[in-house]
């Protein structure tokens, strides 16, 4: 009968794995010198993973050293099996060593890597006798969480539980959980959760990167400099409107086209709220030939009506026409960034995934976006259009209407502003006492896990 070892694998299983490892090593040695460096990385990753599966992380590390000798680029998957194996053993020193090697070699650290380190620390906290040693590990954990919070915002439940396990063995630490109820209060200790925004340094860095992305020619540079001069003379702005996003909302259907009326309704709404508005819209949408772009050829809007809209908007808000050949998104993003001290918002449903990807510190841009984006919905109820005949508007399709064709139909809005607090991993001080609060997504709800110095 096979006996169980400490990590739950039967010795018979290990014998099979050892044989497979020998075969893998033979295959590896035959292939590694005849393929390109780019093709060698998957070979190394495979043999490293197999070595760790056989319980031989030290053997796996020799392959990592070999990769460095051959100038083969390591990836997260190079290190994760080794990190996982040392973590499962509770080998804190080697776990830290591998993790810090990943940092030193600029390997992207994902949540799984952090979770492995937290697990190893938790196992050690259970057996340590000295309060000084425990305090040292808690300080190390604090530094890890601080680093993790920069680019990991909502954590996995295993990460949260491992962190709670670490602090459970610390002196005078408490922990608890509660369901997010939009109050911004962590119920177990009545802690107010923070609203986290980026500081002036990162704000300026993002603005500089946007300038680099926009100013790719002399003409574009001159146009963007004109835009910055325009912003300098704008005064205080409360809301920057992504005009194209509003104009095309729910217009991707037969009979739909760019809707100036939707923009007009939004401007009317915020004007009544006494908001100072900046509308950023590409210049082509002030021309009837471009506005004729539709999903069939039965709709158009004449130049006279566009000119009337422009005159009306000019009296109610600031307007900037983005010139041909420019991405208008960068213009309204930049405009909102320049209004940071006024805590301006931008109105758009754009998720900005490409923009986050194009900025080196995209995780900081994402933090800023969460604090400043207003999402919206526009709709028309059945009662609003009841008086139109079936020839004018099919009652079964009243969620899709071009409001330039039916300008008298009432348009309803739903606006979703950012919460008063950030739903992201954060540190909060309660009367000078430190605490960590971690949001975990479970199906359709957020559960907050907390640890705090009591």
Torsion-angle region of 407 (φ positive above 0: left; ψ -120 to 50: alpha; else: beta)? alpha
Question: What percent of the chain has pLDDT above 90?
Answer: 56
In the predicted structure, residue 92 carries a pLDDT above the cut 90: yes
In the predicted structure, residue 13 carries a pLDDT above the cut 90: no
Average pLDDT on 60-71 reads 87
Q: Evaluate the CA torsion angle 272, 274, 280, 283 in order and state its sign.
A: positive
pLDDT in tens, 387-417: 343 334 444 444 445 555 555 667 788 999 9
Task: Report the predicted TM-score, pTM, of the whole model to 2 decimal places.
Answer: 0.77
pLDDT of residue 256: 65
pLDDT of residue 379: 82
pLDDT band at 439 (very low <50, low <70, confident <90, very high): very high
Average pLDDT on 41-54 reads 85
Q: Is the CB of residue 254 less than 8 Å from the CB of residue 400?
A: no
pLDDT in tens, 251-265: 766 666 788 888 999
Match 């993002």 to its residue by tokens: 206
pLDDT of residue 248: 87
pLDDT of residue 398: 42
User: What domains are there in the chain, each with its CATH number?
Assistant: 11-165 (1.25.40.10), 200-416 (3.40.50.11980)
Q: What is the mean pLDDT of the chain?
A: 83
pLDDT in tens, 126-168: 999 889 999 999 999 999 999 999 889 999 999 999 999 999 9
pLDDT in tens, 329-387: 999 999 999 987 778 999 999 999 888 888 888 788 989 999 999 999 988 765 444 43
pLDDT band at 328 (very low <50, low <70, confident <90, very high): very high
pLDDT band at 26 (very low <50, low <70, confident <90, very high): low
What CA–CA distance (Å, rounded) separates 352 from 323?
21
pLDDT of residue 150: 86
What CA–CA distance (Å, rounded) separates 391 from 302?
22
State the distance between the two ends of the chain, measured CA to CA, in whole angstroms: 51
Question: What percent of the chain has pLDDT above 70?
Answer: 80
List all residues 6 or more positions away from 404 whose beta carbon is below 8 Å from its beta carbon. 257, 259, 260, 261, 299, 301, 305
pLDDT of residue 28: 52
pLDDT in tens, 286-319: 887 665 444 444 455 678 888 888 999 999 999 9
């Amino acid at each position: 009968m096979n006996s169980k070892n400490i990590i739950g694998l039967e010795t018979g299983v290990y014998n099979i794995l050892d044989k497979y490892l020998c075969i893998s090593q033979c295959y590896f040695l035959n292939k590694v010198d005849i393929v390109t460096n780019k093709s060698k990385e998957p070979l190394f990753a495979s043999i490293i993973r197999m070595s760790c599966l056989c319980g031989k992380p030290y053997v796996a590390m020799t392959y990592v050293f070999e990769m460095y000798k051959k100038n083969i680029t390591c990836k997260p998957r190079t290190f994760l099996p080794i990190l996982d194996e040392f973590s499962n053993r509770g080998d804190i020193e080697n776990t830290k060593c591998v993790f810090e090697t990943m940092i030193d070699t600029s390997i992207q650290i994902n949540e799984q890597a952090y979770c492995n380190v937290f697990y190893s620390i938790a196992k050690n906290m259970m057996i340590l006798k000295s309060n000084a040693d425990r305090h040292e590990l808690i300080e190390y954990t604090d530094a890890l969480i601080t680093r993790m919070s920069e680019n990991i915002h909502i954590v996995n439940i295993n990460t949260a539980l491992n962190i709670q396990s670490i602090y459970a063995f610390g002196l005078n630490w408490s922990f608890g959980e509660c369901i997010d109820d939009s109050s911004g209060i962590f119920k177990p200790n009545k802690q107010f959760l923070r609203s986290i925004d980026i500081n002036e340094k990162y704000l300026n860095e993002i603005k500089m990167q946007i300038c680099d992305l926009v100013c790719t020619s002399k003409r574009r540079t001159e146009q963007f400099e004109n835009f910055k001069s325009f912003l300098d003379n704008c005064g205080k702005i409360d809301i920057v409107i992504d005009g194209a996003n509003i104009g095309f909302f729910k217009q991707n259907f037969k009979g739909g086209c760019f809707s100036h009326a939707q923009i007009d309704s939004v401007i009317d709404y915020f004007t009544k709220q006494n908001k100072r508005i900046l509308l950023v819209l590409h210049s082509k949408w002030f021309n009837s030939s471009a506005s004729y772009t539709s999903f069939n050829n039965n709709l158009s809007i004449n130049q006279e009506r566009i000119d009337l809209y422009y005159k009306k908007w000019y009296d109610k808000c600031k307007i900037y026409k983005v010139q041909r050949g420019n991405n208008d998104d960068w213009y309204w993003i930049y405009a909102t960034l320049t209004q940071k001290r006024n805590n301006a918002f931008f109105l758009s449903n754009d998720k900005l995934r490409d923009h986050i990807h194009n900025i080196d510190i995209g995780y900081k841009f994402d933090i800023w976006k969460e604090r400043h984006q207003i999402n919206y919905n526009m709709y028309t109820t059945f009662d609003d259009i009841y008086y139109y005949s079936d020839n004018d508007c099919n009652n079964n399709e009243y969620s899709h209407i071009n409001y330039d064709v039916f300008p008298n139909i009432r348009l309803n809005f739903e606006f979703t502003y950012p919460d008063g607090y950030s739903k992201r991993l954060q540190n909060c001080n309660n009367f000078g006492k430190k605490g960590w609060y971690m949001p975990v997504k479970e199906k359709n709800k957020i559960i907050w896990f907390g640890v705090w110095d009591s």
